[in-house]
């Protein structure tokens, strides 16, 4: 489902429930490792010759790299989209071609997916404290440069 010709929408509206496929290169640009079970349910209703109402729900699973370990982390995706489509709607303008009377559904879906993908994600628990070329360092005690130790003693004696 890409372009919908708005003049061919029946009075009862247009409904769909289908799986969508996104090219692997597009996911890589977003930093997504892979996707599964991307389904879109929606309908497009015609109110008059100039106004349309779009309601869609996109569900699926994305696998994103963990911010610390780079291991795949499941990110469930559920996006609801409701838009009034007319020539005055600024958010849809680039997907609505009035001269051709078409609407690009995939463009609208992709824009909403991009907005939902987090910048970084982590499993939360850090079982692994080292890896290939990295190690988690924890500063539990305050380390003082040995050359500045006499200064620390002087500051401590002034506090007393």
Instruction: Look at residues 80, 84, 137, 85 and name the one whose alpha carbon lies nearest to residue 112.
Output: 80
State the pLDDT at residue 94: 55
Task: Quote the CA–CA distance of 35 and 38 in Å, as a whole number.
Answer: 7
Residues 6+ apart with CB under 8 A from 103: 3, 4, 6, 44, 52, 54, 85, 92, 95, 96, 97
Give the torsion sign (CA, 15, 86, 20, 60). negative
**In this model, does residue 78 exceed pLDDT 90?**
yes
Cα–Cα dist 76/36, whole Å = 10
86 has pLDDT over 80: no
pLDDT the model gives residue 157: 84
Residues written for the chain: 160
Mean pLDDT for the stretch of residues 118-135: 76
* 3-class secondary structure, 109: helix
- Residues 7-33 have pLDDT tens digits of 777 878 889 999 988 888 888 988 999
Mean pLDDT of 133-153: 75
Q: 3-state DSSP: the chain helix, strand, coil percent, rounded to 5? A: 25, 40, 40
- In tens, the pLDDT along 38-68 reads 999 999 888 876 778 889 999 999 999 988 7
């Amino acid at each position: 489902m890409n372009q919908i010709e708005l003049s061919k929408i029946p009075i009862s509206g247009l409904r769909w429930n289908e799986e969508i496929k996104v090219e692997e290169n597009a996911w890589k640009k977003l930093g997504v490792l892979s996707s599964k079970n991307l389904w879109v349910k929606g309908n497009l209703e015609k109110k008059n010759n100039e106004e349309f109402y779009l309601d869609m729900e996109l569900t699926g699973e994305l696998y994103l790299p963990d911010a610390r370990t780079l291991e795949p982390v499941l990110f469930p995706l559920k996006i609801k989209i409701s838009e009034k489509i007319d020539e005055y709607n600024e958010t849809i303008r680039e997907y609505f071609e009035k001269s051709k009377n078409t609407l690009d559904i995939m463009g609208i879906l992709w824009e909403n997916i991009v907005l939902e993908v987090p910048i970084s994600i982590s499993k939360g628990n850090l079982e692994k404290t080292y890896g290939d070329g990295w190690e988690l360092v924890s500063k539990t005690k305050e380390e003082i440069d040995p050359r500045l130790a006499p200064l620390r003693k002087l500051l401590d004696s002034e506090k007393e």
